[in-house]
A and B are shown apart, each in its own frame.
Chain A
Amino acid sequence: NAGVTQTPKFQVLKTGQSMTLQCAQDMNHNSMYWYRQDPGMGLRLIYYSASEGTTDKGEVPNGYNVSRLNKREFSLRLESAAPSQTSVYFCALSVEFSNQPQHFGDGTRLSIL
């Protein structure tokens, strides 16, 4: 899925470490999203960026920060990782911030020990 590129694909951290998950797109979409997926919980929105220069909290923002670096890139940062943040993280895009299809990246599998 060349349209949405997430890095890294896998990462293991120790409690208290920090890291940044990267998402880059070549689809020229305005809106970008970060979700986490936990077993039996579906997908939950962490943060979103409706357009370049704006970011807003979603359903589960605690413990995370984001940066919309430019139209192409939207990063998610864990300042002090906790075991509860062990999850699969997906970046998604949509043309606009509205009732439009969202297209997902391949995900980052993050384990925190």
Chain B
Amino acid sequence: GENVEQHPSTLSVQEGDSAVIKCTYSDSASNYFPWYKQELGKRPQLIIDIRSNVGEKKDQRIAVTLNKTAKHFSLHITETQPEDSAVYFCAAWGSGGAGSYQLTFGKGTKLSVIP
């Protein structure tokens, strides 16, 4: 089945700086890559997603890039603010094994934005 690796596991940045989180995936047939933000004690919330027919997508301060050849995708947050502090998860829709499909998640990145 699909394997998603996420790095780094923790990231600290100064307010106003940029943050980059990277993920790699193993299933070349994976075609959908969402990113979730989870604040402490809350549910994961979808913040941006990208499909395999697109190389980059932006939404205000957030952007995601996808390199299908290298099988990696990244989340970019510019002009970080304290409210961006949270755990971020990448995911990939691909093979779950035994002919099934599923969303496979990375293990998360704890982002801390220092005022």
B82 adjacent to chain A (CB < 8 Å): no
State which residues 10-54 of B face A: CB under 8 Å: 31-32, 34, 36, 42-46, 49, 51
**For chain A residues 59-90, which have a beta carbon within 8 Å of chain B?**
59, 90
Contact status of A102 and B96, CB under 8 A, knowing A43-B105, A90-B44: no
Are A48 and B43 in contact, with the CB atoms below 8 A? no
Report the Cα distance A81→B36, complex, angstroms: 29
A101 close to B46 (CB less than 8 A): yes
- Evaluate contact between A104 and B106: CB separation under 8 angstroms: no
Q: What is the minimal beta-carbon distance from B94 to any residue of chain A, in angstroms?
A: 9
Q: Say whether A52 faces chain B, with CB atoms less than 8 Å apart.
A: no
Per-residue CB contact flags for chain A residues 28-40 toward chain B (1 = under 8 Å, else 0) read: 0000010000001
Secondary structure at chain A's binding surface: helix, strand, loop or mixed? Answer: loop
Which one, B1, B9, B44, B45, contacts A59 given CB within 8 A? B1
A41 → chain B, closest Cβ, in Å? 6
Contact B89 A58 (CB under 8 A): no
What is the number of contacts between chain A and chain B, taking CB atoms within 8 Å?
A: 55
Query: Which residues on the A side are within 8 Å of B104 (C-beta)?
Result: 45, 59
Question: How many chain-A residues does the 8 Å CB contact rule pick out?
Answer: 24
Asked if B102 CB lies within 8 Å of chain A CBs, one says yes
- Pull 5 A–B residue pairs with CB atoms less than 8 Å apart, ordered by A: A42-B89, A42-B106, A42-B108, A58-B96, A102-B46
Show the binding face of A for B, using Cβ within 8 Å.
1, 33, 40-45, 48, 56, 58-59, 90, 97-107
Apart from A99-B31, A104-B44, A106-B42, 17 more pairs, CB < 8 Å: A1-B43, A33-B103, A40-B9, A41-B107, A42-B89, A42-B107, A43-B44, A59-B96, A59-B97, A59-B104, A97-B101, A99-B32, A99-B51, A101-B49, A102-B46, A104-B45, A106-B43
